[in-house]
Amino acid sequence: MERNICLTLSYDGSRFHGWQMQENAETVQGFLAAACERIFGHKVTIYGCSRTDASVHANIFCCNFKTEKDTPCEKIKVGLNALIPPEIAVLSAKEAAADFNARFDCKGKEYVYRVWNSRVRNPFLIGKALHHPIHIDEKLLDDESKSFIGYHDFSAFCASGTEVDDKRRTVYDFSVKREGDLVLFTVRGDGFLYNMVRIMVGTLLDINSGKISAGTISDIIASKDRVRAGITAKPEGLYLNKVFYDREIK
């Protein structure tokens, strides 16, 4: 009988060209698929909850695949962890309903963007956070970030050439908080366009530096003009932090 296995992962994206399998490139999906083939003796199609870009990290990432093998879930977890690179960890393996799909059943995501805000770089955060030496006014940016909340057309906050017709998304919450020299940009929504979070963070950083006027985010959203928004923040500070589903996976 066919089983639907859901994996929960965590990974450091620094060495990978993103989640999605590519020819002649190391990807998280590629390593997982190869490991699954060794364990089960057949190829599997793995469905991921998101398509993280090169150098983007995940604290929590969900994916699923199907197999007729009766290998216990705990052995699947142990076996995969023995075969995949150390930058990827399988946190759990569970059986899901036959119609569960990690991508299409995902109801929302939370991203965290980490910025090391000090004149001196932190060598332990190279590739793990954006180094931004200009002082960040986190209270100002926390106030500014609230303009993103709501149901909007985010055409101004996605990469040009994005092949998605409907660019309307709902942002449930956005906050900017400081923990010492680390500034955390946390956003939760029902879905995100290509580079959307990185452009929102880049826009806030441009407001902080005075390149974009404070109080204009709502106008930029209404304009649907990518040129009016800020820079695309570098990928290494971005983490998929949580994913949300309506139904529980056993």
**Annotated catalytic sites, by residue?**
53
Provide the CB-side half-sphere exposure for 133 (13 A, CA). Answer: 3
Beta pairing, strands 57-67 & 106-116: unpaired
Burial class (CB in 10 A: 0-12, 13-18, 19+), 227: exposed
Of 151, 140, 155, which Cα lies nearest the Cα of 221?
155
Cβ atoms within 10 Å of 31's Cβ, excluding its own: 19
Identify whether the C-beta of residue 188 lies closer than 8 Å to the C-beta of residue 171: yes
Of 125, 115, 189, 128, which Cα lies nearest the Cα of 158?
189
Identify whether the C-beta of residue 4 lies closer than 8 Å to the C-beta of residue 64: yes
